[in-house]
Amino acid sequence: MLEERLVTLLVKLAVAASLASLLVRSNKFKRMLLREERTFNQRIQLALGFASIFGAGVATRVLTGIYKSVDLGLEGSLLSGILGGYVTGLVSGILIAVPAMMNGEFLTMPLYAGVGVLGGVLRDLAPETEEIWRFSPLPDLKLYLDPRRQGFQLFFLLTILFAEFLRWSALRVFEPRFLFSTYLPADTQPLTVIAIFATTVFATTLPLKIWNNTRNEDKLETQQRLLQDARMAALTSQINPHFLFNTLNSVSSLVRTDPEKARGVIYKLSNILRRLLRKHENLSPLRDELQFIDDYMAIELVRFGDKLRFVKEVDPDTLDRLVPSMLLQPLVENCIKHGLSSKVEGGMIRIRSRLVNGRLHLTVEDDGVGIPEAKLATLFEQGIGVSNVNERLKVLFGNDYRMWIDSRPGQGTQTEIEIPESRANLAAVS
Q: Are 271 and 295 in contact (CB under 8 A)?
A: yes
Q: Identify which has the larger pLDDT, 92 or 269.
A: 92
Rounded to an integer, what distance in angstroms lies between the CA atom of residue 376 and that of residue 310? Answer: 24
The three-state secondary structure class of 188 is coil
| DSSP for residue 141 | G
8-48 pLDDT tens trace: 788 888 888 888 888 778 787 778 877 777 888 889 999 99
Q: What is the pTM of this model?
A: 0.58
The bridge status of strand 308-314 relative to strand 347-356 is parallel
425 pLDDT tier (thresholds 50, 70, 90): very low
pLDDT at res. 326: 79
pLDDT at res. 114: 95
Q: Are 398 and 130 in contact (CB under 8 A)?
A: yes
- Would you say residue 151 has pLDDT above 60? yes
Rounded to an integer, what distance in angstroms lies between the CA atom of residue 84 and that of residue 35? Answer: 9
- Would you say residue 49 has pLDDT above 70? yes
| DSSP for residue 127 | S
User: What is the average pLDDT score of the chain?
Assistant: 83
Q: What is the DSSP string of 55-90?
A: HHHHHHHHHHSS-GGG--HHHHHHHHHHHH-HHHHH
> Across-strand partners of 420?
359
- Would you say residue 242 has pLDDT above 60? no
Side chain identity, residue 88: T
Sign of CA dihedral 27, 28, 31, 33: negative
Question: Mean pLDDT across the stretch 184-200?
Answer: 82
Q: What is the DSSP string of 6-24?
A: HHHHHHHHHHHHHHHHHHT
pLDDT at res. 141: 58
292-346 pLDDT tens trace: 899 888 888 887 778 889 999 999 999 999 998 878 888 888 888 888 877 778 8
Question: Mean pLDDT across the stretch 194-213?
Answer: 91
Number of H helices, E strands in the chain: 17, 7
pLDDT at res. 362: 96
Question: Mean pLDDT across the stretch 76-100?
Answer: 94
Rounded to an integer, what distance in angstroms lies between the CA atom of residue 290 and that of residue 308? Answer: 18
pLDDT at res. 430: 39
* Domains delineated in the chain: 2-219 (no CATH), 307-429 (3.30.565.10)
1 pLDDT tier (thresholds 50, 70, 90): low
| Residue 330 neighbours by CB under 8 Å, 6+ apart | 230, 233, 234, 384, 385, 386, 388, 389
